Structure 1
Amino acid sequence: MHSSKHISSLHNPLIKKVLLLKEKSRERKKTGLFVLEGMRELQIANRTNYEIDTIFYCANILNDVQNNRFLKSFNPEKLISVSNEVYKKLAYRDTTEGVLAIVKSKDHFVSSLKFSHKSPLVLIAEAPEKPGNIGALLRTADAANLDAVLIANPKTDLYNPNIIRSSVGCVFSRNIKMGSTTEIVSYLKKEGFQVYCAALSASKEYTTVDFKGPTAIVVGTENSGLSDEWLQNSTQNIIIPMEGEIDSMNVSVSAAILIFEAKRQRKLNI
C-alpha cells in the first residue's frame, strides 16, 4: 500500500490536530470534523456516505490482506502511515486494528427527517448524557431496524469517541436527528405520531397499547425521567411492570423491551 506521507513525530501539527479533535467537543463542533477508530467503523462510515478526510494507519498493526485492500480503494493522498509510537498516542482503544480517520460530520436537524413508509417507528431519548447508554440505544435501534432515533435536548456530542466506540459504528448507520424537545414534539404532532412516554404516572402496561401506527417511543434518563413537556404531550404513558424491589431499569434495557414489543405487534399486523 502506498501513501504519500509518513509521520513518526508526536509533535507533528497534524497529529496534534487529531488529538484535539479526539479530546475536545468544542473543536469537533468548530471544524465539523471528528476522529473515528477501527476498520468496521470506517467501512460503515464510508458505506453510509460520510466524507473521509484523512486515514492514518500503522503498517505494523494493519496486517490483514482484506483490510489493506479496502484502504487501497481510497485516494493515496488521503492515506498517511504512522509509526507505532504515534499510533499508540492517537488510539483510543486498548485493542485496535491499526486504523484511524478524520471524518466530516453530518447535519442532524429534525427538519430534514423523512420516512419511506406511512407507519414509522422511532425512538426518542431525552437528554441522555452517558455515552455508553447512547451507544447501547443506537445498537438496539440498529437491531430493530428503527426508522429513526431522535435525541431531544442533547447533552453529549454525537461524535464523542465513547459514543462511536459503544455504538460499534451504529452512529453512522442509523437515521439520527437532534433537536430541542419543543422542536421534536412539534414535528411529531405535525406528522400525526402516537407518542408513548415511558413514565410512572398515569401509565398503562406497555403490552396493552397499540404500536402499529406512526409511533414514537420516548425514554428519559434514569435519574430524572422525562420533562413535563413530554408528559403533557404524551398520547399515553406506558410502564414496564417491575416485580422486584427496584422501580427502574437501565434506559437502554427499557427501550429495547418497548421497541421489540412494538416490532412484535407489527409483525402480527402483516
Structure 2
Amino acid sequence: MAHKTISSSQNQFIKHLVVLKEKSRERKKSGLFLIEGQRELSLAIKGNYEIETLLFYPELCSETQLNDFKISQLKHIEISKEVFQKLAYRQTTEGIIAVAKAKRHTISDLHLSSKNPLILVAEAPEKPGNIGALLRTADAANVDAVIIANPKSDLYNPNIIRSSVGCVFTNTLASGTSEDIIAFLKSAKINIYCAALQDAVNYHQQDFTQATAIVVGTEAEGLSDAWREAATQNIIIPMQGQIDSMNVSVAAGILVFEAKRQRNFK
C-alpha cells in the first residue's frame, strides 16, 4: 500500500492535530475534528461525514482493517507509536485516528423528516459525559433530533465523541439559543414538555403521541425561565428518596422512553 509515514510528534501536521484535539476554538476555526477508534469512524462514515485524512498505527491496525473503511489510500498516513500516543485519548483503541470535516448544526439548518417528531432538547449541558450519555439515549430511542440549547461545549469535543461511543454521528443534531429553539418549536407546532418543578404534573399523565419536544436542564441550574414559560406543560418524575433530582441523562431516558412506549416504539 502506498502511503505517507510520519514518525515524529514534532511534525507540524501532528502538532496541528494535537491542537485540534485540545482546543475547541481551533476546531471551530478550521471546521475539522478528530475521530478515534474503528467503531466511531464507522458510524461517522455512515453519518456521511467527510474524512480528510486517516492516520493508522500498523501494530494495532492491519491493512485489511484499514481497507474496510473504503477511504482513498491517498489519505492514509502511517504513524509511529510515539505519534499515536500523542494523538490518542485511549491507548487501547484500534490504532485509527481520522481527521474529519464538521457539519453545520444551526437550528435554521434542522430539517425534520417526521411529521410527528419526538425531539430531545438539553439546555446548557456542561459535562461531556452527560452529553455523551444523552446522545446514547437519543440513539437508543431513535428520536428524530437532539437539540442543544445555549451549548457550553462544541459537539466534536473528543470526550463527547468518546462518551457517546460515536452516537454524536448517528443522531440528527442542532444547537442554538434557547429563544431561537423555542421559536423553531412553536413555529413547527411541536408541544414542549419541560422537566421542571414549577407548576408541574407527573410525566406519565401527559400525551406524548403528538409532535413532542422533551426538554431537560442541568442538575445544578435546571431550566431557564424562558423554557418554563414556553412549556406546553412542565413535567416531573416523582422522586421517592431523599433527593429531589437525578442525573440529566437518566431523567431524559425515563421521559423519552415513556414517549416511545406511548407511541408503541414505532
Aligned to 2:66: 68
Contact persistence 2:114–2:144 (CA under 8 A): no
Aligned to 1:236: 233
1:151 & 1:50 partners in 2: Cα distance? 20
The number of residues matched between the two structures is 266
Aligned to 1:4: 3
Q: Does 1:115 align with 2:112?
A: yes
Contact persistence 1:124–1:149 (CA under 8 A): yes
Give identity over the alignment, percent.
58
Helix, strand or coil: the match of 2:192? Answer: strand
Aligned to 2:41: 42
1:18 & 1:115 partners in 2: Cα distance? 34
1:60 aligned partner, one-letter code? E
Q: CA deviation at 1:64?
A: 7.9
Structure 1 stretches of 4+ moved >4 Å: none
Q: CA deviation at 1:166?
A: 0.4
Q: 1:161 aligns with which of 129, 151, 158?
A: 158
Q: Which stretch of structure 1 is more off in the superposition, 128-137 or 82-91?
A: 82-91
1:197-208 residue pairs with structure 2 within 5 A? 197-208=194-205
Q: Does 1:259 align with 2:256?
A: yes
5+ residue gaps in structure 2?
Answer: none
1:54 & 1:134 partners in 2: Cα distance? 26
Aligned to 1:192: 189
Q: Which stretch of structure 1 is more off in the superposition, 87-96 or 240-249?
A: 87-96
Q: Does 1:219 align with 2:216?
A: yes
2:105 & 2:140 partners in 1: Cα distance? 21
Aligned to 2:51: 52
1:7 aligned partner, one-letter code? I
2:192 & 2:224 partners in 1: Cα distance? 14
Aligned to 2:26: 27
Q: Deviations over 1:42-87 (max 9, x none)?
A: 111112111100010000111484x23314x221110000011111
2:113 & 2:124 partners in 1: Cα distance? 27
1:112 aligned partner, one-letter code? D
Relative to the length of structure 2, the TM-score reads: 0.97
Q: Does 1:209 align with 2:206?
A: yes
Helix, strand or coil: the match of 1:95? Answer: coil
Aligned to 1:131: 128
Q: Which stretch of structure 1 is more off in the superposition, 177-186 or 85-94?
A: 85-94
1:206 & 1:51 partners in 2: Cα distance? 40
1:117 & 1:216 partners in 2: Cα distance? 13
2:47 & 2:258 partners in 1: Cα distance? 28
5+ residue gaps in structure 1?
Answer: none
Q: Which stretch of structure 1 is more off in the superposition, 140-149 or 7-16?
A: 7-16
Q: Deviations over 1:181-210 (max 9, x none)?
A: 010000011010110000111110000000
Go from structure 1 to structure 2 and tell me whether the alpha carbon gap of 1:3 and 1:225 turns closer, same or farther (over 3 Å shift).
farther
Q: CA RMSD in A?
A: 1.2
